[in-house]
Amino acid sequence: MPDDSLKVMELYKRGFEERTKNIQNAFVFAKACESSALNTKSNFLIAKANNLLGILYFKTGQLGKAESFQLQALNIWNKINNKEGAGLTLTNLGNIFSNKNQKVDAENAYLQALQLFNELNNEKQKANALNNLGILKFENNEVAIAKRYFLQAYQIGEKLNDYELKALSLNNIGETYVAEKNWDEAWAYYDDARELRELMDNQIDLIDSYINLASVSLENNKINDAKNHLIKAKKNSEEQQYAEGKIATYELFLKFYLITNKSDSALLYQRLFYEEKLKLIEESKDAETNFIPTDNSKTEQQIIAELKNQNYVLYYLIAVLSVFLLMLIYLLFRQKK
């Protein structure tokens, strides 16, 4: 049993480390962690494995699966009275609820987590809770309050010399300056976050930094800087198969080529943007876990026909948007003449 427990913890560690480097490798370790944990019949280890899978499914945008695994973990943590595990899982659930636009549920989860971490004197997780509460305030247009939360979190990161925490807090502070249209300050905070993420070799979050820097550069009319960051974001997000990173990068490339009046390239990135977005929507349906058979008489041909009908609607929407973009490009060229 001790050897099995060590194996589970090592698999958890490897999967957690890989989450920011190579998401596919992370899933391999997480699945092995889950299998080994179930063999031990240890509630603690099973909860750890569920938590890791929840984190990875969240990272890839599969919110239904993420919530399911985190709720399983939370039930176990409460059962064995593990406050630290419960606090971490509540934080993860808050992130999921926030992405599902369940803001009240998200705030309640973060506040419960903050209370547990205060009881445990866990400074790092307290800072994470502050960051999360700041994000909620930011999304509610309470920018000044959000910035105070983020600064408190950054100060804890400085005290702990925690690069990941500092990078996250700096990035969030940069967001508040974007909201205030203070592009120079936003760029400075984003670039400080990028530098820390490069030191940590944090590939997924580094892609987000390149995207943020490109976006601010476009707003500040620094076209060459924007292109350089977009090239890095595209290369890394495609290598990492980071769907949300690819979507954001393609959208900014579309904007970049519209600004620089290159219609062919703009149309290419418009197509890539919608293809990747539709692919992510399909993957996020979580058919594997949410499917309930209601009509076993359906043939394979009927199912295929239904899927084709759904695709026709999606392609129609893409066609309409393409026509709109062509009209926009035409009007831009007319104005330029």
pLDDT of residue 331: 61
pLDDT of residue 19: 87
Number of domains in the chain: 1
pLDDT (mean) for 63-71: 96
Confidence check: pLDDT of 80 > 80: yes
More confident residue, 334 or 200: 200
Distances (CA, A) of 335 to 248, 260, 312, 330: 28, 14, 35, 9
Q: Count of alpha carbons within 13 Å of 132, Cβ hemisphere only?
A: 30
Out of 33-37, 195-199, 292-296, 311-315, least confident range = 292-296
Q: What are phi and psi of 124, to 5 degrees?
A: -65, -45
Range of the domain at 252: 203-283
More confident residue, 103 or 310: 103
Confidence check: pLDDT of 313 > 60: no
3-state SS assignment for residue 278: helix
Domain for residue 223, yes or no?
yes
Domain for residue 158, yes or no?
no
Domain for residue 238, yes or no?
yes
Confidence check: pLDDT of 295 > 60: no
Label residue 311 by pLDDT band (50, 70, 90): very low
2-16: pLDDT as tens digits: 578 899 999 999 999
pLDDT (mean) for 316-322: 61
102-127: pLDDT as tens digits: 999 999 999 999 999 999 999 999 99
234-264: pLDDT as tens digits: 999 999 889 999 999 999 999 999 999 999 9
Domain for residue 250, yes or no?
yes
Confidence check: pLDDT of 288 > 50: no
Mark out the alpha helices in the chain (DSSP H runs).
Answer: 2-18, 23-40, 43-59, 63-79, 83-99, 103-120, 123-139, 143-160, 163-179, 183-200, 203-219, 223-240, 243-259, 263-283, 287-290, 300-336
Domain for residue 230, yes or no?
yes
Confidence check: pLDDT of 305 > 50: no
Two structure tokens written together for 187: 């760029």
Q: What are phi and psi of 291, to 5 degrees?
A: -70, 130
31 in Cβ contact with 6 (< 8 Å): no
Confidence check: pLDDT of 166 > 50: yes
Domain for residue 243, yes or no?
yes
Question: pTM above 0.75?
Answer: no
Domain for residue 125, yes or no?
no
199-231: pLDDT as tens digits: 998 899 999 999 999 999 999 999 999 999 999
Label residue 306 by pLDDT band (50, 70, 90): very low
Domain for residue 175, yes or no?
no
Confidence check: pLDDT of 131 > 60: yes
